[in-house]
Chain A
Amino acid sequence: MDSEKRDDVAIHTPPEFAVADADVHRAVEPEAEVAGTSLWKNAWRRLLRNRLAVFGLMMVGVVVAAAVVGPPIIRVTTGYTYDYIPADANLIRSFPPLRAPDGSFSLAHPMGTDSSGRDILARVLLGGRISLMVGIISTLVSLVIGITYGATAGYIGGHVDDLMMRIVDVLYAIPYMMIVIVLLALFGGQSALGQLFLLFAALGAVSWLTMARIVRGQVISLKNREFVLAARATGVSTRKIISRHLIPNTIGPVIVYATLTVPSVMLQEAFLSFLGLGVQAPLASWGSLALEGIQNIAVFPWQLLFPGLTMAVTLVSLNFLGDGLRDALDPQTRRT
């Protein structure tokens, strides 16, 4: 099978080796040095050579670090938390960024305050925590479902595979976002935390389809290889072959796709929150902050700008990182 061969090369042979393989006579000496570098080390080196990917990695690091340590720092220095509304009635209005109540320069609120006098930076950081959490947890949900489903279909093959993949095709054609909207609108609204869990489940449950297809393709190309045959010959159970031998070998493309799923899930979460169906007050996500911000856009544009731009920068960084990872782990599909 053609794809079998291609997938092989994609995972195990970085281009440096491809050249060395072609030149048989020269291979002996330099290989002693090159052979020591693993697939991961090679990938890491290629990733570091990609400037955009490094930028993405750093920005993601900055955003995650800020979301983790930012809120406590703000609480200690200014006393504000994401839901702290100042007791002084004069402070309950929206101040522009970097301005004190009297209009002079001040570092207290680098992103200004919202209409209730809450610190926007603290809310954006909370929004970051929740948006990142939704992105990561839903991606994990989709990973678990997608890998199990795809590996099972690919390994068993035959009619079972046909049926399982036909189901995926059918699900692909369903306007799932509409179903998710119905789900969130009709079952949600009980509590902020309940809504959050519903969101994890809903987004995770609809984003596993592509993952299942990728894993299935990988497993099909791997399952007739010698090491699987050897495992089967020594009497290893089907379940163990799938979990111990096949899934670990599909990890490259899976990591790449997972990295790209995180921003897309975050975007979907933001859509839903923007429509008022996702994260509920008093919690906030970048989408729900944008919804609050858009209502005051003419007068207090900073209420929309900061959450929106923070989100855009984070998503760009994640996408750059994902693209870079794909190029690093899968040199065959590199966007030359």
Chain B
Amino acid sequence: MFQFVIRRLLITVPMVVVVMSLTWGLIRLAPGNFYTGERALPAAIEQNIREKYGLDLPWYVQYGRMMRNALRGDFGTSLQYEGRSVNEILGRTMPVSAAVGLLAYLLALVVGVTAGTIAAVKQNSKLDYGSMAVAMFGISLPNFVLGPLLVLLFSLTLYWFPPARWDGIPSRSMVLPILTLSAVYMAYIARLARAGMLEVLRSDYIRTARAKGLSEKSIVMRHAIRGGLLPVLSFSGPALAILVTGTVVVERIFAIPGVGNYFINANLNRDEPLILGIVVFISIVILFFNLMVDVAYGFLDPRVRY
């Protein structure tokens, strides 16, 4: 177990380096830079800037510098937000994104698992068909359509929540973004939980549990759910990667000062240090989360050996 974690952590480092190199390469290969804008800079000034940021050096020197600094955890300063370091921006925006993302995922887990389990236990009932139909719509309704619809209903008609304003954590302004973001995961998790539970409920050890006279409730809650939720658990890894994309859209819709919003702006403005910093940071988060999922797998599924 301990060995497994160490081995996985050791694989993680080269993967982050690959992602970092890929992103850096893309940025370097792309035409133009932050300073090619509407207004052309005087040649002397541009020369000074290039020297200041080391852009006049050969590419391998630039790459080496970038790597060395990145490995020390220093991603430099943002070009767009002058004087603010990438780390400071990440420190400011990450808690916002994490709060919205994790709460949304938590909500999706609770609702999705409940709905999926009930649907599986009452298979082929109206409840089952109804919740699965709703889940299918949840998967297919893009969150940039769902979000505005919620705004239309709850902000512009009922005046319950602000439409696109961020009041910090916690606040009422978090409700709509969290609902919007969690819908897709709720639907996915409900489907996965249902499929997983159905399979487990037909297995031998459940029959044994029934045979020895356990109540249906304790069969489902204590025996079936452990195995039935494994698909949900393995979905949690990739889900985080998708959650990142979802968060970007939701942060755009609701004007949330999170990582996603800054990431899009950084891309549109060619704020290279910030792009690189955010990509690397998110990669580390995702890789770490995948590792956690694999470790958790071992606890839930006694058949798994590391």
Known: A179-B26, A274-B249. A173 touches B136 (CB 8 A): no
Residue in B136, B267, B282 with the greatest tally of chain A CB atoms within 10 Å: B267
Nearest-neighbour CB distance to chain B for A336, whole angstroms, equals 7
Q: Is A312's CB under 8 angstroms from B15's CB?
A: no
Interface size on A, residues (CB 8 A): 44
User: Which residues of B are found within 8 Å of A172, using beta-carbon distances?
Assistant: 238
Q: Which A252-299 residues sit within 8 Å CB-CB of chain B? A: 263, 267-268, 270-271, 274-277, 287, 290-291, 293-294, 297-298
Q: Is B26's CB under 8 angstroms from A263's CB?
A: no
- The CA of A123 and the CA of B279, in the complex, are separated in Å by 35
Q: Is B264's CB under 8 angstroms from A315's CB?
A: no
Q: Is B145's CB under 8 angstroms from A308's CB?
A: yes
Q: Is A304's CB under 8 angstroms from B263's CB?
A: no
Q: Is A186's CB under 8 angstroms from B27's CB?
A: yes
User: Which residues of A are found within 8 Å of B270, using beta-carbon distances?
Assistant: 185-186
A335 within 8 A of B: yes
Q: Which B204-246 residues sit within 8 Å CB-CB of chain A? A: 238, 241-242, 244-245
User: Which residues of B are found within 8 Å of A276, using beta-carbon distances?
Assistant: 268
Known: A175-B241, A294-B148, A308-B145. A316 touches B136 (CB 8 A): yes
- The CA of A290 and the CA of B252, in the complex, are separated in Å by 13
Nearest-neighbour CB distance to chain B for A203, whole angstroms, equals 13
B169 within 8 A of A: no
Q: Is B23's CB under 8 angstroms from A179's CB?
A: yes
Q: Which A290-336 residues sit within 8 Å CB-CB of chain B? A: 290-291, 293-294, 297-298, 301, 304-305, 308-309, 311-312, 315-316, 319-320, 335-336
A187 within 8 A of B: yes
User: Which residues of A are found within 8 Å of B149, using beta-carbon distances?
Assistant: 305, 308
Q: Is A182's CB under 8 angstroms from B145's CB?
A: no
Q: Is B290's CB under 8 angstroms from A275's CB?
A: no
- The CA of A270 and the CA of B141, in the complex, are separated in Å by 11
Q: Is B140's CB under 8 angstroms from A174's CB?
A: no
Q: Is the interface of A mostly helix, strand, loop or mixed?
A: helix
User: Which residues of A are found within 8 Å of B139, using beta-carbon distances?
Assistant: 315, 319
Q: Is A181's CB under 8 angstroms from B148's CB?
A: no
A336's partner among B151, B198, B275 (CB-CB below 8 A) is: B198
Interface residues, chain B, with chain A CB atoms under 8 Å away: 15, 18-19, 22-23, 26-27, 30-31, 123, 136-137, 139-142, 144-145, 148-149, 151-152, 156, 163, 195, 198, 238, 241-242, 244-245, 248-249, 252-253, 263-264, 267-268, 270, 275, 278-279, 282-283, 286-287, 290
Contacts A/B (CB < 8 Å), 18 sampled:
A173-B286, A174-B19, A175-B282, A177-B242, A179-B19, A181-B263, A186-B267, A187-B30, A267-B142, A270-B142, A274-B144, A275-B252, A287-B144, A297-B152, A298-B163, A316-B136, A316-B137, A335-B195
Interface residues, chain A, with chain B CB atoms under 8 Å away: 170, 172-179, 181-183, 185-187, 263, 267-268, 270-271, 274-277, 287, 290-291, 293-294, 297-298, 301, 304-305, 308-309, 311-312, 315-316, 319-320, 335-336
User: Which 4 residue pairs are nearest across A and B when measured between Cβ atoms?
Assistant: A308-B145, A186-B30, A185-B267, A315-B140
With A175-B244, A175-B283 already in contact, 16 other A-B pairs whose C-beta atoms are closer than 8 Å: A176-B241, A177-B245, A178-B279, A187-B30, A268-B245, A271-B245, A271-B248, A274-B249, A274-B252, A287-B144, A293-B148, A297-B156, A308-B142, A308-B148, A312-B137, A312-B140
